[in-house]
Amino acid sequence: MKFDLAYCLSLNDKLSIYDVRDLNFDETMDFDSTREHFQCPNDACRLAFDAANELGTFNAKNVNYVRTPHFKNLPSTRHVEGCPYVSLKAPASGVDEAETDDSREENFPSELLLTRREYVRKPPSPKVAADGGRDEPPTPSVNRNGEQPGRESAPDKTSVFAHPVECFVSNFDDKDLLKRVPLKIGEHTAPYGSFFKKIEYLQDNKGLIYWGKVKEIKDYTQSFRIDFEKKVWFEKRPYSVNLYLSKKLIDSYRKRKAFLEEIKHAIESGRELYCFFYGVTPELKQVPSKKNPEQTFGVFSANIENLDHFIVREAPGLADK
């Protein structure tokens, strides 16, 4: 059983596993999911048990994951009768649940919010009931930007780019599903299947999530350059596509360490990698030739402006399609 959300005790809020990953890698936040306590997102169920009744995480801290991250029941996790999160296929202890049903992301956010979610720590002094009973039930926090009531049953909106990307990657073979489910970013809404645009067709429409297989990543003094394998055809001629990542931008990034680990892995792993990005559209530019600086050649290129909307990752399901 995978959970779309889990209640995080210290933040007194419900988080998706992608929120947890974002927090784990954020060097400006004091957050480590191995020290946090996650519980059933169903309020009635959670409040029926004490704080020791926890959920586990899968791929919460692994920078370069392949299999879909999620929250899961532990062998000791209990739920009240009728809780929608009661696992129908409760694993026998010793069985790795992750082997059985973690193959795809089933919770599609309807919107990618371009403003980052903010978190407020629960005050450090929990109220203890006079009779020595358990802590007062926490009141839902209302002081968060963009928090909407009714966010209970699905992670309707996310501000973590990796979440819609995982939906697309892990469901890539289900074209009907990707055609059916809508995604909104900014003012633009389109089904997942068309919001994600192959890099070679980037001229079709601006403002989409572009993706493609990475040919090479070059490490320069001031920047990294991502070259894509596929070329763009323009006026009957093929042009290379690349992206530049400024090292200055990376140095001031709140997830700098994790990002450099992702890039380092990408350069050294020798694996097939795919790049996803949103927010910029590569455009045809004339750049000087290295061999002969008097000459120029055309290339479709863009500078990444927001590292939150850029991912290089393995995506085995996308190979040869």
Tell whether residue 104 is a contact of Zn ion (CB under 5 A).
no
Question: How many residues lie near Zn ion (CB under 5 A)?
Answer: 6
Candidate ranges 71-79, 210-218, 268-276, 285-293; the one touching Zn ion (CB under 5 A)? 71-79
- Please state the closest distance from residue 36 (CB atom) to Zn ion, in A: 18
Q: Which residues, 76 to 95, sit near Zn ion by CB under 5 A?
A: 79, 83, 85
Cα distances from 216 to residues 16, 226, 267, 281, in angstroms, run 32, 6, 8, 19
User: Which lies closer to Zn ion via its Cβ, residue 31 or residue 85?
Assistant: 85
Shortest spacing between CB 138 and Zn ion, in angstroms: 16
Q: Closest distance between Zn ion and the C-beta of residue 190, in Å?
A: 34
Tell me the C-alpha distance between 189 and 111, whole Å.
Answer: 9
Rounded to a whole number of angstroms, the minimum distance from the CB of residue 79 to Zn ion is: 3
Residue with smaller CB distance to Zn ion, 39 or 159: 39
Q: Which of residues 21-50 bind Zn ion (CB under 5 A)?
A: 40, 42, 45
Instruction: Give me the DSSP letters along 19-62.
Output: HHHHHHH-TTS---TTTS-EE-SSHHHHHTS-TT--EEEESSS-
Q: Which is nearer to Zn ion, 79 or 117 (CB)?
A: 79
Nearer Cβ to Zn ion, position 45 or 304? 45
The dihedral of CA 289, 294, 295, 296: what is its sign?
positive
- Give whichever of 39 and 68 is closer to Zn ion, judged by the CB atom: 39
Q: How far is the CB of 128 from Zn ion (least distance, A)?
A: 24
Pick 38 or 259: Cβ nearer Zn ion: 38
Segment 161 to 180, residues that bind Zn ion, using CB under 5 A? none
For residue 298, the cross-strand partners are: 286
The answer to whether residues 212 and 228 touch, using CB atoms and an 8 Å cutoff, is: yes
Instruction: Output DSSP code: residue 135.
Output: B
Q: Are strands 296-303 and 241-246 parallel, antiparallel or unpaired?
A: parallel
Give the residue among 181, 183, 178 at the shortest CA–CA distance from 111.
183
CB of 69 to Zn ion, least distance (A): 20
CA distance 126 to 62: 32
Binding residues for Zn ion, per CB under 5 A? 40, 42, 45, 79, 83, 85
